[in-house]
Amino acid sequence: MSTQLSKHSFLLGITVLLVFGSCKTTYYQSAVTNKQMLEINNKVPEDTAIRNYILPYKNQLEDKMNEVLGYAPEALIKNRNLPESQLSNFFADALLAIGRKVDPEVSFSLATKDGIRAGIKQGDVTVGSIFEVMPFENYITILELKGTDVQVLADFIAETNGQPVGNVVTQIKDKKLLSFKIGGQDIDPNKTYKLATYDFIANGGDLVRGIGNPVSRVTTSERVREGLIAYVQQLTKEGKKVEAKLDGRVKIIE
């Protein structure tokens, strides 16, 4: 799958290069004088030579993006204001499964609500659908954390009114942590826990706390979207759909 997506990215890059490489101007200026604003609209004639040159690459790209991976019986809607959503649960569970392929000792998974960029529409789930969910060049990362650091992470999750988590059940009240269980067990400060996430978060993205000083770290060569594509394909092979339930894993107590 990584090879296919690399070819995919190559085609996109070639397309962009062809567009800009076809310009007649071949010199550079250190300064621009006599600036003039030129309006670009549908009155500007299309350059058919460039269009025809790019068209085969464009068609290949669209064919790849339209490749069907699975089926969603209902839409998984993005809503960052909810502590838990079907989309966040699906994403976190996928991340957990991907992480456990890298290291079977992974205990739980973490994403962020802002990191999931789009929902999944009802119907066929395509490669393009997954690119919309995770368009970034983020790589699957496994962090081994001390129990005391997991506690700091749990407090961060509470203060932000919940984040996407897998194999975790937590209760929050007034942005304070009431409980946080991994695999049904309370955090043991004397243990270490392996977390599946991605390098953006591991590098301090979205200001996540508690993960900046891991006992160990493994950043893989697998992009998150590549893992998601393989995950959805495996669901389809097993006769399963792209779906998730609200299971109370992140509960806000009023």
pLDDT in tens, 99-145: 999 999 999 999 999 999 999 999 999 999 999 999 999 999 999 99
Q: Please give the pLDDT value at position 44.
A: 77
Degrees (nearest 5) of the Cα angle 51, 225, 146? 150
Report whether pLDDT(22) > 70. no
pLDDT band at 39 (very low <50, low <70, confident <90, very high): confident
Q: Please give the pLDDT value at position 245.
A: 95
**Domains in the chain: boundaries:** 2-65, 69-252
Element (H, E) at 159: helix 147-159
Long-range pairs for 9-14 at CB < 8 Å and ≥24 separation?
A: 11/57, 11/60, 11/61, 11/64, 12/61, 14/57
pLDDT band at 32 (very low <50, low <70, confident <90, very high): low
Overall CATH class of domain 69-252: alpha beta
